């Protein structure tokens, strides 16, 4: 059965890239299939163990989910550490995946930096936990930004290897089913997940440098629009955003080699729900001095209600905690069933 799982780490500042690349798509996916949206607090401690306010950051992501329009009656909202199946399945996947697979992950290389020997073991195993997040619900669709593509390929590799390594036992236990693998249909236990990386906002870039991705951890606050920014802050940041001296082209093809222009047009398109070409039909030939104020107005009117609602929700942490608890119970029902199956397949005794 089709099912969505996606997640966001409760670290740093939630920004426009997270909103357009992930949260806004989550809201849309609710119309198509059952969804689970996770706040991945176990992942949050992989790069830096002691967090300033993990509980507060976790509530902030949950508040953003709710404020953006994720409906807790329809979709399951919860924090990862509450459902023990994530860590349990991740351990099994640590034994399925190979060290070489993890060593090749670009995010690991970036985050570990030069001193790889000193990175936490958790940072290396991060993608194995991410595969567990997805597969413990046997989720088939994962909406994410472009930076998660390699992790999702690894999730497919883990599912394929598990299905292959245990193929006889999957057969014997009768727990197998038809699994769609591209055009092919094979027999297995875990589905081969489809990443959903679509639209004009899969990779929002820094406002200060069109070659760098907008990031929660960028030391320059001017590089990103935070979901907590007010109208003045948004106006100031867009005004200061790097651009080139030329007028906007009349179609998207003309944005090639102009990363900053491409980024701002992409942001406009994602906020307005248009394609880049449609945006450029309106703004082609215009200067940034005209385009930027229009972008500010659109950003303020689209984000304002979300940030306002987020602030309101954060005034009542008890309500957010209740949503996470109820979501955790629903998630656990699905995850516990998967863990019983997996233990039967491997041959682990359980109740
Ligand atoms: P995280 O917390 O870094 O980012 C959350 C989501 O936001 C997307 N994103 C962006 N999209 C467009 N432009 C950007 N500049 C930008 N920056 C971030 C990310 O692609 C992501 O979709 N490993 C994940 C969290 C995770 C997860 C999962 C995701 C853990 N388990 C299972 C999906 C399924 C991460 O660190 O995302």
Same domain, 47 and 129: yes
Residue 266, ligand 1, Cβ within 6 A: no
Same domain, 67 and 124: yes
Same domain, 100 and 234: no
Same domain, 146 and 181: yes
Residue ranges making up the domain that contains 294: 221-313
In the reported structure, the alpha carbon of residue 145 is separated from the centroid of ligand 1 by a whole-number distance in angstroms of: 6
Domain count, the chain: 2
Same domain, 87 and 169: yes
CA angle, 217 then 296 then 143, to 5°: 50
Residue 213, ligand 1, Cβ within 6 A: yes
pLDDT tens-digit profile of 2-40? 999 999 999 988 999 999 999 999 999 999 999 999 999
Task: Note the pLDDT of residue 181.
Answer: 83
Same domain, 321 and 267: no
Counting atoms of ligand 1 from 1, which one is nearest the CA of 9?
Answer: 2
Where in the sequence numbering do the catalytic residues fall?
111, 213, 216
CATH number of residue 148's parent domain: 3.40.50.620
Task: Note the pLDDT of residue 225.
Answer: 97
Query: Quick check: is 214 in a domain?
Result: no
Task: Note the pLDDT of residue 217.
Answer: 85
Burial of 259 (0-12, 13-18, 19+ CB in 10 A): middle
Average pLDDT score over the chain: 97
Find where tokens 């992989």 sit. Answer: 46
Same domain, 51 and 153: yes
In the reported structure, the alpha carbon of residue 273 is separated from the centroid of ligand 1 by a whole-number distance in angstroms of: 21
- Indicate the pTM of the whole model: 0.97
Residue 204, ligand 1, Cβ within 6 A: yes
In whole angstroms, what separates CA 122 from the centre of its chain? 19
Same domain, 45 and 167: yes
CATH number of residue 264's parent domain: 1.10.240.10
pLDDT tens-digit profile of 279-334? 999 999 999 999 999 999 999 999 999 999 999 999 999 999 999 999 999 999 99
Torsion sign, CA atoms 33, 329, 25, 143? negative
Which residues, in sequence order, are CB contacts of 243 under 8 Å at separation 6+? 260, 261, 264, 288, 292
Same domain, 146 and 263: no
Same domain, 307 and 328: no
Query: Quick check: is 216 in a domain?
Result: no
Counting atoms of ligand 1 from 1, which one is nearest the CA of 204?
Answer: 13
Query: Quick check: is 215 in a domain?
Result: no
pLDDT tens-digit profile of 244-267? 999 999 999 999 999 999 999 999
Q: Determine the average pLDDT of the residues in 330-350.
A: 98
In the reported structure, the alpha carbon of residue 173 is separated from the centroid of ligand 1 by a whole-number distance in angstroms of: 36
Same domain, 335 and 296: no
Higher pLDDT, 12 or 179: 179
């Amino acid at each position: 059965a089709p099912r969505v799982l996606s997640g966001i780490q409760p670290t740093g500042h939630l920004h426009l890239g997270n909103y357009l690349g992930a949260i806004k798509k989550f809201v849309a996916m609710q119309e198509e299939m059952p969804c689970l949206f996770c706040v991945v607090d176990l992942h949050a401690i992989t790069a830096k163990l002691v967090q300033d306010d993990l509980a507060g950051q976790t509530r902030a992501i949950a508040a953003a989910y709710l404020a953006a329009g994720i409906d807790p009656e329809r979709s399951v909202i919860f924090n990862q550490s509450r459902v023990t199946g994530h860590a349990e399945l991740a351990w099994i996947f640590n034994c399925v995946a190979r060290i070489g697979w993890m060593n090749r992950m670009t995010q690991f290389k970036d985050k570990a930096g030069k001193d790889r020997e000193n990175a936490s073991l958790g940072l290396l195993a991060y993608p194995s936990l991410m595969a567990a997040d997805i597969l413990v619900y046997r989720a088939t669709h994962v909406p994410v930004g472009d930076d998660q593509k390699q992790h999702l390929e690894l999730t497919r590799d883990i599912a394929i290897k598990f299905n292959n390594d245990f193929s006889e036992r999957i057969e014997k236990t009768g727990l197998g089913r038809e699994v769609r693998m591209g055009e092919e249909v094979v027999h297995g236990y875990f589905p081969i997940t489809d990443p959903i990386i679509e639209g004009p906002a899969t990779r929002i870039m820094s406002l200060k440098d069109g070659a760098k991705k907008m990031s929660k951890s960028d030391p320059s606050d001017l590089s990103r629009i935070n979901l907590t920014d007010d109208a003045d802050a948004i106006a100031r940041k867009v005004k200061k955003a790097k651009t080139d001296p030329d007028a906007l082209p009349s179609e998207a093809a003309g944005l090639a080699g102009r990363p900053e222009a491409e980024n701002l047009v992409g942001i406009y398109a994602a906020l307005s729900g248009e394609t880049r070409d449609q945006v450029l039909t309106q703004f082609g030939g215009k200067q940034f001095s005209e385009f930027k104020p229009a972008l500010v107005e659109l950003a303020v009117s689209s984000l304002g209600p979300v940030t306002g609602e987020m602030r309101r929700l954060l005034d009542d942490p008890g309500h957010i905690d209740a949503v996470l608890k109820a979501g955790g119970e629903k998630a656990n029902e699905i995850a516990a069933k998967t863990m019983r199956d997996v233990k039967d397949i491997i041959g682990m005794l359980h109740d």
